[in-house]
Structure 1
Amino acid sequence: MDAVWSADLPGDPEAYLWWPIILYMFYLMSIVCDDYLLPAVDAISEHFHIPDDVAGATLVAFACNGPELLTNCCSIYLKDASVGIGTIVGSAIFNVLVITACCPIVSPRGTLKVKPAFFLRDATFSGISILLLWWALPVVDLMKASVLLAFSAIYALVVAKSADWFGDHQYDGTSPLADGLITSPGNIARQVSGQDIEDLCFQEQHPLEQRQLVQTLLSPGALLAWLTIPNVKLQPTRFFSSFFVSMAWLSVTAYIVCIGSDRINIFWGIPKSFLGLTLVAIGTSWPNLLASVATARQGRGDMAVSNALGSNVQNVFFVLAAPIFVSVLVRGSYTSDSAEILSSVLWMGATLALVMLVVGVSGFWYAYLKYHSRLPPSLIRFKTQLQFRSAVDERGQLRSEVEALQSEREDLAAQVERLQREHSQIAAARELKQQELESKVQALQSQIKASQTEASAARDEVQRLCKALDTAQSLCKHAEARAVAAEKSSTEVHLQKFGSPLYEFFGR
C-alpha cells in the first residue's frame, strides 16, 4: 500500500499474528510435499513407467504450480493483473536462482549430475516462454492466449518423447523417493533422508518438554492433512486422489501466505513489490523447492532441475495462459501494466541467461579437467594429493570396516558354538528322557502281560470251580432223590411188618 516502508511498529496484535501463520503454512507445505505429493508422483511414475525428467517437468511441476494457478485465477477475475503476473515473475526468478542453487548443495556428493539434453530442452522452452510472454503482453487477445496454450501442449509432447529421442534414459522401475518411513513430531510418517536423521539427532539434544510443546503446536495441521489426503503407502491404488488433494492443499496454504503478505503490507507498510518478489514468491514456489530438494537428496538431478525449469514453462504456458484465455473468451481482450510487466520479463530472461551461463561454464570446465590431456602441473599435483588423501581415507575406512566385520564374525562364531553346545545338551537330555520313557513303557507292558496271565488263571479257576459246583449240585440232587426213595421204601416195609398183626387184631 505505502511506497515507503514504515519504521513504526504496529499496535494491532493481528500484525504480529500473521508472521507465525505464514511460517506454519510453510511447515504444512513441507509436510504435504514430503509425505503425500512426492510418494503420489512416485506411485504414478511407477504405474505408468514415467522417467524421472518427464515426471519432474510435468507431474511435479504441475502439482507445485497449483498456488500460482489459484493466485492467477483470483487476480485475473478480480481485475488485478499485477498480482498474478508479478507472482509468475517472482516464482520464475526464485525457481531459476534459488532452486537450481540449492539442489547441488543438498545432493549426496555436493554436485548434481544432469543430462545436457534434458537441461537444454527445459532451458530452451523456458526461453521461448519468456519471448512469447514478451510478445503477448501487455494486451492479450484470443489468438495470443491460444498460442500460449498451444505451446503448453507442445512442451508436454516434447517432454514425453524426449526420452525416446535421446535414447539414454531407461526406466528401471525403482524409485528412492519412497524408501523407508520415519516418524517425526507433528506428522504420521516421513521419508528417510540425511536431513531427517540430523533433525532427529537435534531433537534428542533438547528436553522432553520442549519437544512435547513443539509437537503439540505443529500436530493439528499435520493431523488434518493425514485425515484428508489419501496416503499411497497405506492405499497404493489411490495415487491420483492423493496427487490432486495434495495439490489443493498446497494451493490453499500458498493462498493463505498471499493473504498474510497483503495483511503485512497493510500493518507494517512493507511495499507490495518487495513482498511479491520475496514472501509471496517464496510462498508460491516453496512446494517446488521442497520437491526439488527431496529429489536432489536422492541423486535424481534430472527430476530436480526439470521441476525448477519446467515449472517456469508451465507457469507461462498454462498457469498464466489458461485463466487469461477464459477471461478473453468472457470479457474480450486482457490488458496489464506494460511498464512493470515488461521490466519483470526482462528480469526473467536475465536470470535464465545467468543460470545457462553458469551451467555452461561449469560444464565446459568439468569437460576440460576430465578430458584435456595437458593439465597444469599444479592441478595435477593437487588432484594427486586429493586422490591420495581419498585413497588413504578409504583405506582407513575399509580397515575399520574389516575389523568390525572380523569382530562380528568372531561374535557370530561364539554364538554358533554356544548354540551347538546348547543343542548337544538338549539332544542328550532328550535321549535320556526317551530312554526313561522306553523303560517305563516296557515295565508297563510287562505288568500288563502279568496282569493278563493272572486274569487268565483266575478265569480258568473260576470255570473249574463253576464246574465243581455244578457237579456238587448234581450229586446233592441225586443223594436227595436216593434219600427220598429210601425213606419211602422203609415206610412201606414197616407197614408190611406191623400191618398184618394189627389188621388181624382189629379184625377179630
Structure 2
Amino acid sequence: MQKKGGSTWARRALLLGIFWAVEHLPLPGASLPQRLPRATGNGTQCVISPSSEFPEGFFTKQERMDGGIIIYFLIILYMFLAVSVVCDEYFLPSLEIISESLGLSQDVAGATFMAAGSSAPELVTAFLGVFITKGDIGISTILGSAIYNLLGICAACGLLSNVVSTLSCWPLFRDCAAYAISVAAIFGIIFDNQVYWYEGTLLLLIYGLYVLVLCFDNKINQYIVKKCSSCCTCLAKAMEERTEQQPLMGWEEEGQPFSRRQSRTDSGIFHEDSGYSQLSISLHGLSQGSEDPPSVFSMPEADVKRIFWVLSLPIITLLFLTTPDCRRKFWRNYFMITFLMSALWISAFTYILVWMVTITGETLEIPDTVMGLTLLAAGTSIPDTVASVLVARKGQGDMAMSNIVGSNVFDMLCLGVPWFIKTVFINPLTPVEVNSRGLTYITISLNISIIFLFLAIHFNGWKLDRKLGVVCLVLYLGLAILSVLYELGIIGNNKIDPNSNEHKWQK
C-alpha cells in the first residue's frame, strides 16, 4: 500500500508539472524563428539566443558544467521513451481505427492523419509564433527540419528496422511532387521578404488541393497508371500491388486473417515482435470481435524489459489517466479523442525534449546555427521519427514514407495558417516581414533531397532497407555539414562577426 501511495503522488506531481508547462511555458517553435539573425537591406540584426525563450532550467551554467548536464541528458532520453510510448500505445492505434473507419490505404493515412498528428508540435508552435513571439521562419528551421525529415527519418527507418519493406511507386511520386510544388511556392512567396494575405491563402489552397488528390487517390492512380504504365514499369507493378493490397487487415495464410500477439508494445521495447515480415495495418488487434489487449500495467517477463517497463511506469500511468485506450472495446468509439489527446501529449513531450536539448547545446557552447540545423531539427521531428520507425518495423513502408514526405507538406500548412491569420485578421492587408537570406540555397538543397530520395529508392528496387538507410544517412550528413558551413559564413557570401553570445551577419 505504501508503494502504491508513493506511485500515486509521483504521477500526480508529474501530471501537474507537465500541465503547468503546457499552460505557462512558450513552446519551442515559438523561439525557433528568432534563433538566427536577419539580414534586412544593408543593415544587420543581432542573434537572439535560443534559450532566451525558455525557462532558465534547474541549474546555473556553472552547475551544469560541473556535472548537472547529466540530468539534462537523462531527461532527453526519458522524453524519447515518452514519445515512443504515446505513439505506440495511443497515437498509432487511433490512427489505424481512423483509417479503418474511412477506408484509407496505408499511404493516404500516413500522408494525412499520421502526418498531421506527428507534426502537431509544428502547427501549435506556428500559431503561438503569430500571437506571442511574432517571429519569422529562419533558414535554420526550414532547411534543417525539412532535410532531416526527408533523409534523416528515412535513414532511421532503414537502419532501425529488421523488416525489409516493399514500397509503391505512385504514393512516393505523389507526395514528392506535392512537396516539390510546396517548396516552389515558398520560394516565390518569400522571395521579396514579404508575405501578403493572398500568398498565405495560396499555401492553404495548395494543401487543400493535396488533400483533394488524396481523397480521389485510387481513381487518379488508376488513370495515371493506365496512361503511363507502358513507359514506366514501376507504375505498372505498383498498380498490380495496389489492386491486391488489403488496406486494413493483413493475411498470414490464404483465407485466414493473421492475429498479432497483443503485447505490451508493438515496438519491441518490452516484448518481442510477432515475427511477420509483410503486412498491412494491423489495428493492434482492434477488430470488432477481438479481445481487449493486456493491461498496460502488466509486467513483462524478461528482466531487461522489466527495467524499461518500470522506468516508463509514470508515463504509462499519466497516459492511462488522461487518454482513452481505443484498443479496448469500451473506448473504441472514442478514437478521435485518443488521437487528439495523444497529439497533445506528443507536443508536450516534444517541448520538454527541445527545451532540454537547447540548454544542453548552450552549455556545451554549440553555435546556434549548428543547433538549429542538427539537434533542434532532429528534436522537433522526434514524433515523426518515432512514428515512422514504428510502422516501418511492422513492414508498413508506404505509410512510413508517406508520413516522412507528407509531414513536410503539412508543414507548408503550418506556415500558411499563421501567415493567413496575421495578414487577414490581426494586421489586415499588412504584409508579414520574413527573412529570405539563403533562399536559393534552401530551394536547391530541398530539391536535391527530393530528387535523390526518389531515385535512390528506385535504384534500390523500391525497398526500404538498411542499404537505403546508409545512403540517406550519408547524404543527410553531407548536406547538414554544407548547411552549417554556409550558416557559419565559411562558404557563401554570409559573413559572421562573432561576439560572445551575439553574432552579427553582414551582407
Verify: 1:355 aligned to 2:449, yes or no: no
- Offset at 1:67? 1.4
User: AA paired with 1:41?
Assistant: L
- Offset at 1:186? 13
Map 1:464-479 onto structure 2 (within 5 A): none
Verify: 1:121 aligned to 2:217, yes or no: no
Verify: 1:183 aligned to 2:264, yes or no: yes
Map 1:378-397 onto structure 2 (within 5 A): none
- Offset at 1:20? 1.7
Among 319, 341, 345, the alignment partner of 1:249 is 345
Normalised by the length of structure 2, the TM-score is 0.62
**C-alpha contact (below 8 Å) 1:43/1:239 kept by paired residues:** yes
For residue 81 of structure 1, give the secondary structure of its aligned residue in structure 2. Answer: coil
CA distance in 2, matches of 1:53, 1:239: 20
**C-alpha contact (below 8 Å) 1:40/1:232 kept by paired residues:** yes
User: AA paired with 2:185?
Assistant: L
Verify: 1:343 aligned to 2:441, yes or no: yes
Larger Cα-atom Rg: 1
Among 72, 89, 98, the alignment partner of 1:18 is 72
- Offset at 1:2? 9.7
CA distance in 1, matches of 2:268, 2:459: 43
CA distance in 2, matches of 1:27, 1:11: 25
User: 1:233 aligns to what?
Assistant: 327
User: 1:303 aligns to what?
Assistant: 399
Compared with structure 1, are the counterparts of its residues 345 and 258 closer, same or farther at alpha carbon in structure 2 (3 Å cutoff)? Answer: farther
- Offset at 1:44? 0.9
Verify: 1:319 aligned to 2:414, yes or no: yes
Q: Percent of aligned positions with the same letter in both sequences?
A: 29
- Offset at 1:349? 2.2
CA deviations 1:11-55 (Å, max 9, x no partner) are: 466544322222211111111111111110111111121111110
Verify: 1:144 aligned to 2:199, yes or no: yes
CA distance in 2, matches of 1:48, 1:191: 31
CA distance in 2, matches of 1:248, 1:78: 21
**C-alpha contact (below 8 Å) 1:10/1:268 kept by paired residues:** no
Normalised by the length of structure 1, the TM-score is 0.61
**C-alpha contact (below 8 Å) 1:139/1:336 kept by paired residues:** yes
Compared with structure 1, are the counterparts of its residues 309 and 188 closer, same or farther at alpha carbon in structure 2 (3 Å cutoff)? Answer: closer
Compared with structure 1, are the counterparts of its residues 25 and 364 closer, same or farther at alpha carbon in structure 2 (3 Å cutoff)? Answer: closer
CA deviations 1:49-77 (Å, max 9, x no partner) are: 11111101101011111111123233344
**C-alpha contact (below 8 Å) 2:144/2:373 kept by paired residues:** yes
User: 1:221 aligns to what?
Assistant: 315
Map 1:262-273 onto structure 2 (within 5 A): 262-273=358-369
Compared with structure 1, are the counterparts of its residues 213 and 275 closer, same or farther at alpha carbon in structure 2 (3 Å cutoff)? Answer: same
**Alignment gaps of 5+ in structure 1:** 196-202, 366-508
User: 2:31 aligns to what?
Assistant: none
CA deviations 1:417-438 (Å, max 9, x no partner) are: xxxxxxxxxxxxxxxxxxxxxx
Verify: 1:97 aligned to 2:97, yes or no: no
- Offset at 1:79? 2.6
CA RMSD in angstroms comes to: 3.5
CA distance in 2, matches of 1:301, 1:16: 36
CA deviations 1:461-500 (Å, max 9, x no partner) are: xxxxxxxxxxxxxxxxxxxxxxxxxxxxxxxxxxxxxxxx
- Offset at 1:182? 1.3
CA distance in 2, matches of 1:123, 1:56: 14
Map 1:441-456 onto structure 2 (within 5 A): none
For residue 56 of structure 1, give the secondary structure of its aligned residue in structure 2. Answer: helix
CA deviations 1:173-201 (Å, max 9, x no partner) are: 63359933213699999894569xxxxxx
Count residues with an aligned counterpart: 350
CA deviations 1:326-380 (Å, max 9, x no partner) are: 1222133112222145533432222222212323433599xxxxxxxxxxxxxxx
User: AA paired with 1:175?
Assistant: M
CA distance in 1, matches of 2:166, 2:457: 11
CA distance in 1, matches of 2:70, 2:81: 18
Verify: 1:61 aligned to 2:115, yes or no: yes
**C-alpha contact (below 8 Å) 2:185/2:203 kept by paired residues:** yes
Compared with structure 1, are the counterparts of its residues 204 and 272 closer, same or farther at alpha carbon in structure 2 (3 Å cutoff)? Answer: farther
**C-alpha contact (below 8 Å) 2:84/2:386 kept by paired residues:** yes
Compared with structure 1, are the counterparts of its residues 327 and 345 closer, same or farther at alpha carbon in structure 2 (3 Å cutoff)? Answer: farther
CA distance in 1, matches of 2:433, 2:368: 20
CA distance in 1, matches of 2:361, 2:155: 29
CA distance in 1, matches of 2:407, 2:306: 38
Compared with structure 1, are the counterparts of its residues 148 and 250 closer, same or farther at alpha carbon in structure 2 (3 Å cutoff)? Answer: same
**C-alpha contact (below 8 Å) 1:181/1:190 kept by paired residues:** no
**C-alpha contact (below 8 Å) 1:99/1:292 kept by paired residues:** yes
CA deviations 1:430-454 (Å, max 9, x no partner) are: xxxxxxxxxxxxxxxxxxxxxxxxx
For residue 270 of structure 1, give the secondary structure of its aligned residue in structure 2. Answer: coil
User: AA paired with 2:316?
Assistant: A
CA distance in 2, matches of 1:259, 1:132: 31
Bigger helix fraction: 1
- Offset at 1:222? 2.2
CA distance in 2, matches of 1:178, 1:296: 19
User: Using CA pairs below 8 Å that are at least 6 residues apart, which structure has the higher relative contact order?
Assistant: 2
CA distance in 1, matches of 2:335, 2:272: 17
Compared with structure 1, are the counterparts of its residues 264 and 341 closer, same or farther at alpha carbon in structure 2 (3 Å cutoff)? Answer: farther
Verify: 1:72 aligned to 2:166, yes or no: no
CA distance in 2, matches of 1:16, 1:223: 25
User: AA paired with 1:327?
Assistant: K
- Offset at 1:270? 1.5
- Offset at 1:251? 1.1
